Amino acid sequence: MKLMRVGAVGDEKPALLDDAGKIRDLSSVIGDINGAVLADMSWAAGLDVAALPELPADSRIGPCVGNVGKFVCVGLNYADHAKEAGLPIPQEPILFMKATSAICGPNDDVIIPRDAQKTDWEVELGVVIGKNTAYVSKENALDHVAGYCLINDVSEREFQLEKGGQWVKGKSNDTFGPTGPWLVTRDEMPDASNLAMWLEVDGKRYQNGSTSTMVFDVPTLVSYISNYMSLQPGDIISTGTPPGVGLGQNPQIYLKAGQTMRLGIDGLGQQQQKTVAYIVADKG
């Protein structure tokens, strides 16, 4: 199933994308697409999809998971990306957190933060957790995955790399986490280890990769992370980006207001974001 959340910001309804590409309202069946609903998918058994009301095709799409508890990111998980960043290929997964307040819809505007000069893009495979998870083995790790989604791990490189401390500072501004358009459940995508992924800015393709070149694969990451924190249903792991980010260009290229990012991963749909300038609120 392709699960979605559709509607105005903060007021999204649960929905699914049917096989004909129609958005169907799930709000008569479940309250939201969130951890509790993903942990117990019994509601999906025998679902009469054709009987669900259709929602307008031009509805705003929200992030595909609501009430995300944790957004865990993996750094330098593609060898070529580590190289372009001038950093060694990690011996163990590099973990950092993105504030959940950064999460937004897949096609919402991305705000260039106040005083930002180095805002950058990262197409990534998102893994959505479906079970309480602690110390899970690599062999059992996929049983704890509800499904997969597309993520743009928007990053501000000066905040991330030049201001000391943890990467979280360059990863957490509002709108730095476009997530969706949909969550593909694992029964529909049993294997996410060989998916083409790409990202374009103003029509120019910068990233062209595949999840097959990850340094640490999804089962390894879920197992590894669960040694250091428990994971709950609805938590998201963003698994790193292939080469082609702005930081890796020569000279480096960063986003300005008025640009358009488009990105996609096979089977997980596409996103499109306009970049807009941060507007200081009028204090009157």
Q: How far apart are CA 268 and CA 197, in angstroms?
A: 10
Q: Which is nearer to Zn ion, 129 or 199 (CB)?
A: 199
* DSSP summary character for residue 179: B
Angle ∠(99,38,193) on CA atoms, nearest 5: 75
Enter the tokens of residue 253: 């290229």
Q: How far is the CB of 74 from Zn ion (least distance, A)?
A: 7
Q: Which is nearer to Zn ion, 34 or 172 (CB)?
A: 172
How far does Cα 54 stand from its chain's mean position? 26
**In the complex, which residues of this chain contact Zn ion (CB under 5 A)?**
122, 153, 241
Q: Which is nearer to Zn ion, 30 or 73 (CB)?
A: 73
3-class state of residue 142 by DSSP: helix
Q: How far apart are CA 26 and CA 281, in angstroms?
A: 36
State which residue has the least CB distance to Zn ion: 153
Q: Which is nearer to Zn ion, 62 or 242 (CB)?
A: 242
Enter the tokens of residue 196: 């083409």
Q: How far is the CB of 232 from Zn ion (least distance, A)?
A: 21
Which ranges of the chain does DSSP label H, i.e. alpha helix? Answer: 35-39, 79-84, 157-161, 218-225
Query: Which neighbouring-strand residues pair with 118?
Result: none
Q: Which is nearer to Zn ion, 16 or 154 (CB)?
A: 154
Cα distances from 5 to residues 33, 93, 99, 262, 276, in angstroms, run 7, 31, 20, 20, 23
Q: Which is nearer to Zn ion, 126 or 233 (CB)?
A: 126
Contact 62, 105 (CB under 8 A): yes
